[in-house]
Structure 1
Amino acid sequence: MVDDPRQALARLAQERGVSLSALSRMLGRNVAYLQQYVGRGSPRVLPERERRMLADFLGVEEVALGGPPVAPVDDVQVPWLAVSAAAGTGRAAEEERVIRTVALPAAMLRRLGVTAAQASMIQVAGDSMVPTLLDGDRLLVDRSDRRVPQAGALFVIRRDDGVAVKRLVPQGRQVAVISDNAAYPAQVCANGDVEVVGRARLLLREV
């Protein structure tokens, strides 16, 4: 049985040794925000973004904080890695640990040609891929698909110890690393200078 989300939040914060005021500031809210949520029921339900941030920080599934129930059997649990793919000048590689899992329909993965064992979720950071990708977008990455097609495609890459998401277009023995935002110039690199982590197959965005 799942605890009341308000009670669960108060208990988890106490167990982690963090105050509700500190968690409120982490959400960009005033210090009394979560005290009012726990004590007065205002807001009645936490917005999805805030619930996800709290679940990530506290190391629990969103269902514990009032999120949707666990996925049905037909869904596949895809690992969400603690790595942000920079849509900018590059982001230092972080430990690729699993924050939590995200339920995606098995039928959708099959339609995309992505096997569950090679799928992972990461978050986009920065603005170099605007308007295609926005800061905070989530990407489903197929780590089994690393071949860059002649027409080009979006890939998560490692370069100079940084992780980024870029559009790659082959140019003979080189590859063009392109940002969709015209403010960021394209670069042409030797194939060996760019490690392709996997192809971005699906964009998830809050609206």
Structure 2
Amino acid sequence: MDSIAIRQRLDALISSSGEDYASLSRRLGRNASYIQQFIKRGVPRRLSERDRQLLAQHLGIAEHLLGGPETEPGHSRLQRPGLARAADDYVLVPQYQLSASAGPGALPGSETPSAAIAFQAGFIRDICANPPEGLALIGVEGDSMFPTLAHGDQILVDTNDHMRLRDGIYVLRSDDSLLVKRLSPNPAARRIAIRSDNDAYPSWPDCDPASITVIGRVVWVGRKLG
């Protein structure tokens, strides 16, 4: 597994669990800066088998997510009491503090996840045919896609699904902002319509596909009620 992906995943897990670099380093019997150096500088290049096992056990994840032997590709087992039984397998999806329709940043490379959210693996397989490593969770800002998407909704974006465009809702990048819009390709004319579900906002019915940067397709939305 790619070292950068391992380090990013570990950083997200530490943040979401309320841990800190120094306390985890001491738990491993290392100096206080050991975990921080591994995550931020890639030193050491990989975790030792002992450190990997201890971290996986403490964080309640499958060891292969930290570079160990892969038993169930793309899945992790969360064994923390109250969250999931050990027999159930879950996928950890990184959550980013980014917003679409508007907001700075891009997915996923230049941003660090703020948390890792657990979804049941079977549910993820039902809604997404691509490998779960390409999934990201971000927030919706504004009401340009209302009533389909509301301000504050959390959307699950499949960043592996950005080439074969078809009718659906996608996250786009425009300059330094992220937009969430409905795309409707016209195969005959080789053009694409970019639409807002809220009629109060503009749509662009005849665009060149080469003029837009697609981050990924929205495959799920979660909403707070009340």
TM-score by length of 2: 0.57
Task: Name whichever structure is richer in strand by fraction.
Answer: 1
Corresponding pairs, count = 142
Post-superposition offset of 1:176 = 1.1
SS at match of 2:144: coil
Q: d(CA) in 1 for partners of 2:160 and 2:141?
A: 23
Identity %: 35
1:109 pairs with 2:124:
yes
Q: Find the partner of 2:178 among 134, 154, 163.
A: 163
1:205 pairs with 2:223:
yes
Post-superposition offset of 1:72 = 4.7
CA contact (8 A) 2:157 2:220 kept: yes
Q: Find the partner of 1:61 among 14, 17, 34.
A: 17
Aligned to 1:194: 212
- Aligned Cα root-mean-square deviation (Å): 2.5
Cα gap change, 1:130/1:197 in structure 2, threshold over 3 Å: closer, same or farther? same
Cα gap change, 1:71/1:136 in structure 2, threshold over 3 Å: closer, same or farther? farther
Matches within 5 A, 1:27-176: 59-61=15-17, 69-73=82-86, 74-86=89-101, 90-93=102-105, 95-112=110-127, 113-146=129-162, 147-149=164-166, 152-171=167-186, 172-176=189-193
Aligned to 2:200: 183
TM-score by length of 1: 0.62
The letter for the 2-side match of 1:194 is I
Render the CA deviation track for 1:18-75: whole Å, top value 9, x for unaligned. xxxxxxxxxxxxxxxxxxxxxxxxxxxxxxxxxxxxxx9xx44389xxxx94555511
SS at match of 1:91: coil
CA contact (8 A) 2:168 2:182 kept: yes
* Segments ≥4 residues shifted beyond 3 Å: 59-63, 68-73
Q: d(CA) in 2 for partners of 1:70 and 1:158?
A: 35
Q: Gaps (5+ residues) in structure 1?
A: 1-55
Cα gap change, 1:135/1:72 in structure 2, threshold over 3 Å: closer, same or farther? farther
Post-superposition offset of 1:206 = 1.2
The letter for the 2-side match of 1:128 is S
Cα gap change, 1:161/1:199 in structure 2, threshold over 3 Å: closer, same or farther? same
